[in-house]
Structure 1
Amino acid sequence: MRKTTRTHLVLAAAVLAVSACGSGGPKAAEPVAAGAPLAGRDSIVVAWCDRFAAQSTTAPDTKVHVVTVVAHSSADGTRLAERSAALPDGAAVEPLCGQPRRSTAAADRQLFDPGFGLVAGTVPGPNGSAPVATAFTLPGGRAAVAEPAEGRGPAFQAGTSVLWYEGADHKVVSRDLAAAGAGPQDHGTAPGQDFALVDGRPWLTRPVDTKADQVAAAPGGEVAAGSGLWRRTDPAASYDPQYVEPAALGPSGNGRTTLPGSETVPGCAPRLWTDPRTLLCVNNEQLLLLTFAADHSRLEGFTSLLPPERRFVDGAVLSPDGRSLAYLDGYGGTTFLYRIDLTPGAQPVRLGPVATSTAEEQSAGLPHLVAWQ
């Protein structure tokens, strides 16, 4: 394992701190500075949110969410570094702090800036008005916003300090938190309440039963998977311009057309693409590789990566060289980190237990496998 590099990253943006109770409106603040990266190369990052797990520092009868990120060695699972922050009153980080659901690897990673010094989230606006999109420091939990304005669905553009969100009147907005004096950039109008961010481009339409953080776009950004497969150029559904009608992957029970060749695919949630034609799909028991035709018009086949045994698979990330996967298995009460090479006949290797929440059961968050860096 290479030694962890600890290059200091400083965010020099002029930002605004949000009052902890969310009722006094934004207040001027000094620029937010992020310290050294959480960990360097050869590390795998797990994150979770403990809901209402800490006492508010400003309201005695209020509990707040706590976000934690932990880096483990990709070689042997050794715990390398940890950061945690109690969020301000009313603040949230989706999907970490929401109802449990399977989100994509890209969406989980885009909650954080490159060094895991900031996590994207929202706080209530003045007097409990519409939420304000912001980023919280890790550690510290200090909130910063680009402007005192409405904002939903904040996410960092991959590998950058550019925060995207949907502002008032469905405007798609971005702002570089590391560029001193940088103003918000307008990217047009979204037809709905949110959008998926793909390689610095907003993906504005999705199936009605797919959340924005469940959109997995193939390299090239023109085809996506969620509760089915669809193209960026597909026409909007007749009932709402933010939705499309995808081709189902597997048997369709809601009247959708099934993508040819996918009729026998087990139910699974898209997690990431290993290449432009291959989608990794996850369910509780398996990691599945779905291989499409070059034009994505049909499924040419699928492969189960894991040997048959009892398990509870939750999340997966691709190695930087694209040759291996890491995944979590929470069967039996302890969550373990595994890796498996993407070669025929490869067997999974248990790296060891991962850090998970120590909060009380009603508050404890589920771990999300965020990155392999």
Structure 2
Amino acid sequence: MAFSRPTLTDLRQQALQDIENGGISGVTALLRFSVLYVLAMVLAGLAHLHYGYLDWIAKQAVPWTATGVFLEAWGGLKKITRKPATTASGQVSFGVTGTKTVPAGTTIQITGGLSAVATADSVTSSGVTVVSCAVQTAGMAGNASAGATATLGSPVDGIQTTGSVTLAFTGGADIENDGDLRGRILDAFAEGGENGNAADYVRWAKAVSGVTRAWVNANGFGVGTVVVYFAMDNVRSAQGGLPQGTDGSATGEGRYAVATGDQLLLANALYVERPVTALVIVCAPVAQSVNFVVSDLGDGNTATNQTLITEALQDMFTRLSAPGVTLYQSAWTEAIGALDLDQFAVISPAESIVAANVGSMPVLGTVSFAS
């Protein structure tokens, strides 16, 4: 049976009751500003702090409630560390006269208040100079889509001050929070040692900054291959969590085409973890959009309920969808039913959602509401 921690009010009342029942001659009640009353309040407060400290110690004593550095210490027992914040990188282009270049170290401002620095001298060709650069501040806020406006922090002779992002800034991720780290640690304790099974690949993938979900297709491209699909729900929220880049293998893998973008980031991380003979191919799932039509809400057809239904369906897809998966009607009926609406009906889809192929992943499309 769980211990019920007494509240500060309970402790104060207990202290006052103990004094009143303590057999002190002439004491039947305590005045609010009497010495004994003040002492009772002080002792109750100290006891409350002690209970709080013991409660905190108990939480840090097990990985499923530990926080901060204590959670990281539990992760260290399974070689799991908190994913650090990472910086985004990409390319911007400016119009140029002649063969002028932007020198490495030049500051470039990007729409949204981002500040980037050129990591190498730009490459000039056909009146355009292309600058490879990295955002100065780590975090997912540093990701920027192609087409965003770029401005030179200081003028460079012969080069237009304003340009644009021609290769999206990717790779920026926030430091991993306690909830996500705890989930990986508990999975590691549940799974035991590493041997290159599917669970290991999923854990290795989710250890990469920005990766939130991963799936494995053994021998997906033939004997000896391991195909890893993954999602980046936070970093790529604007793209529905789908990685941005091209599918392929790690830079050091000579048996298959090299990936680019987010896929290359994960492929390189898996390359050093995989069993030595495995050919690991990293792929982004192919989104298979599924539209929903919900009706018969009656008086519950309000903007608030429509938002709740959309969020419930999105949560269902995040929890249950995967490349090649089949989602049954019971899944979305249960998701919407949990909202405790008086009534509802799902007109479309009218049957189970079947992935088009092994690489396709059903994702939520538009949600419309009929009267």
TM-score, with length taken from structure 1: 0.27
* Higher helix proportion (structure 1 or 2): 2
Larger radius of gyration: 2
TM-score, with length taken from structure 2: 0.27
Q: Taking CA–CA contacts closer than 8 Å with sequence separation of 6 or more, which of the two structures ends up with the larger relative contact order?
A: 1
